[in-house]
Structure 1
């Protein structure tokens, strides 16, 4: 999606769940808790899919997020198969080695189902197409935290699903589902609305699954886009071979030549820019990197200390359109292990 016709997210606005297992007195099935959180329009709230100790792979929890004209299942929309769809999910580190039990895809013809000995009452369909699962999903995400998974179904669809299954494992599995959306044409009332961040993704990446269980991560991630007083904190774990990321998402691609602005602070002392070799900034347009990562202590950034504070403003121009900015904090041999992020913003074209 490049610069041109403005687009706006249209969220899936009906949800149904299929909780399967051994429905004897409803005691041993997968579950979907707070399902409505995935269609409430709030990017920060999530439903929770859970599968307790698996029994021969019989336990599963599936949540369907459907596009309708008014939030009622009876008024379902059919989306063209060439329209990409995105679902935002949360995966804890304990799920990563078990991604054979996670499926994401598209569906049609969702219908109510009654309770039986193998499922609770809910919704289900046999018309599902899996887009990602197992190693394909692991290779796509390469980490733990919150992610967006975008795919183009290739055939008409009415929504997306996330399925979590136990596969006979003796561990509790959980996953979060925040929302699903497509982009449709939209005219914004003003430029400020176009350039105000709409969401934040955050977590840890590593080439080794084991490294993802190490200390480190992002606390209060949404503070990076709330106001100039609050802050998110990026922490790297000592000895962890991983990268902490904080990805700020904007509603539309930028115009060519807009400026990225990041405001940072080192807790307890004035930030020494020379130790920022482990910190970089990568613009994206959807899932495609826009240029190479900008190293914070390199010569491509304009850095200045904000008067009367210990905060540094980092700014640089991006020639091509971008709709998200990812901050990366690598665990390297350096004294810097924590950074406060007060702001990630997109300034007008210069």
Structure 2
């Protein structure tokens, strides 16, 4: 196991790429989907189970962990990997997005963001320097620089002003991160849906120099068409020899479209959150296990799936435990959803390596268009 962080491209098919990110804690196969472990746990899952679905890396939330149990406490207890029993790579976000979306009474200045905790109203300050300090205390392998996520819709002027602030914060994040062998710092491109602003942001980040680059400010309500419109050009502004990470995406068809456009990493709460609300993601689209049609159905959620949920339990059982509010409902559906997402990533990696991505994508869309199996 090498002690360095690195990225090796292995194959391309059109704009799509497959490769490997190397970290001291293990390799990450790309394109990669990162399950979200907000509060040092992927909800309703044991870490061993998350790994069994095929996940190489998890995401942790700086904002949530700094408030509870605090980064200082996690550091005293041996760091986030030990704390949550996940020895493989972890990426932590910067806290910027959560401050904008969750915190109350926040005040944004050049220095950073002052805010009140959504948990107990306590006062906090998050700046590029403090975000780097927290993520160092957590011990994450991939650290995100601190940026501002402007709420959309916003005027082009507001987006430009916000992006330039984020670029100044990116330089401060880089300076505060320092030299940490084996740990990586990713910059975050902003600029809304304006090509000129995206290009300006990419040039600023490349000049500073990062180990990887995220496309930020998407999947925030602009719709798939607008997101794909940006992804048609934005990844091309970033260095080809570094990983490209699309933050907060997404649904299976968002993932496939992003990979087609050159994205290497994604994360989303969707598979776990959907699992807790009775939604199963399958090759044939979404299944709502709450529906009465499943009440007497002895068939699995997805007959082609090899996860424990589909191997061992019927739709009738899943319907029953969801209606009864049993904890196993969240466990089984989350396991299935994470398994499906990771299986999709493996399919994409294999298709890119075999130069048959177009056929894979066509089959993916055709199968989803068929819809769920007929009721009995």
TM score, norm. by length of structure 1: 0.27
Q: Which has the higher strand share?
A: 1
TM score, norm. by length of structure 2: 0.26
Q: Which has the higher helix share?
A: 2
**Which structure has the higher relative contact order (CA within 8 Å, separation 6+)?**
1
